[in-house]
Amino acid sequence: MKRSILIIMFSLIAILISSSSSIAVDEYQYPTVIRRFNGSDTVAGMSHNITLPSGQSGALALINLNTPSVSVSITWPYGWNVLADQNAILMKMSIAYRIYNDSEDTSITILTDSTTKIAYNVLLFINANGAVAQTPVSSNSSTPNPPSFDTGISRDYMWIAFMGQTNNAFCTQQPSLYFNLQLALSSSPYAISSCSAEKLRATDVEDPPSFTSTAVSRWAASTVAIIPSGVTTVSTNTLFLIIAIVTQFVLWAISFIIRYPIVSAIIGIIGIVITLGFWTELTWPLNLSFVVFNMVVMTYGMMFGEW
């Protein structure tokens, strides 16, 4: 009787602590495009100025740059993370991003080691924590098809389909279920176009359908996943809480019915092991209360059990 009262008291304490306990979980917000900008060269050169959209510190700028020169070397300014720099058939695609700081320039200069034209799309995101890209693919058609991309982890990504096309051809329709088609087209002759489209989808694998363009021509295309920024929130993990409490009471009931010290000892150890299994799902006060509860079950079972 004495053992039962003490165990019930510790059980109630555990429940009381758990009812006010919560866990820290990572939630993600979809990245959001807040500004879009498209541009191109009117004349060929080796120094290319790109206007950057204004944005607050922490915003992520992503640039899709295309040039009709396959062998050109492209140099991005310091602080830009190059996701892709791929030679294609009769052209080159280069993709890079940067997370804004407190004092961001209004433009950047891209350098090439030979005279060429460029066309580019600039997207500015909030709620973004980086970007990853699939290696660009290339072919010759009027339906540029960005490659399938498996990031390896499912999150609330903003998916970006990029393409570039040579010989005055350009996109007229974005891939199915993609939105906000953007187009940049440099001047003739040897005009290069650059296009982008966007899609929100919580998945780890994305396979964009094809763009539609004005003519059969050489193209390059890539798929980019914008990584959402993690927001730590506090909430009660009700499911794990219920499972943990029910498990502890079942263990207590077994120990109470079978009044042998060795059984109480085994039950207490099992309870502690199970608690460790929940350790990352519940807060430390709750985990500690369960450990104490199991130690009480084990100690009083051994003290008052029948030898």
Q: Where are the domains of the chain?
A: 2-22+236-304, 27-232
pTM of the complete model: 0.68
Task: Give residue 40's pLDDT.
Answer: 93
Task: Give residue 188's pLDDT.
Answer: 82
Q: Is 105 exposed, middle or buried (0-12, 13-18, 19+ CB in 10 A)?
A: exposed
Over residues 178-196, the mean pLDDT reads 92
Tell whether the model's pLDDT for residue 38 goes beyond 90.
Answer: yes
pLDDT band at 77 (very low <50, low <70, confident <90, very high): very high
Contact 93, 45 (CB under 8 A): no
Q: Name the least confident of 20-24, 135-139, 252-256.
A: 20-24
Question: Is the pLDDT higher at 257 or at 132?
Answer: 132
Q: What is the mean pLDDT of the chain?
A: 81
3-state helix, strand, coil in the chain (%, to 5): 25, 45, 30
Task: Give residue 235's pLDDT.
Answer: 43
Task: Give residue 80's pLDDT.
Answer: 95
Q: How remote is the C-alpha of 278 from its chain's centroid? A: 26
Contact 211, 221 (CB under 8 A): yes
Over residues 133-137, the mean pLDDT reads 95
Tens of pLDDT, residue by residue over 85-125, are 999 888 999 999 999 988 788 899 999 999 999 999 999 99
Tell whether the model's pLDDT for residue 16 goes beyond 50.
Answer: no
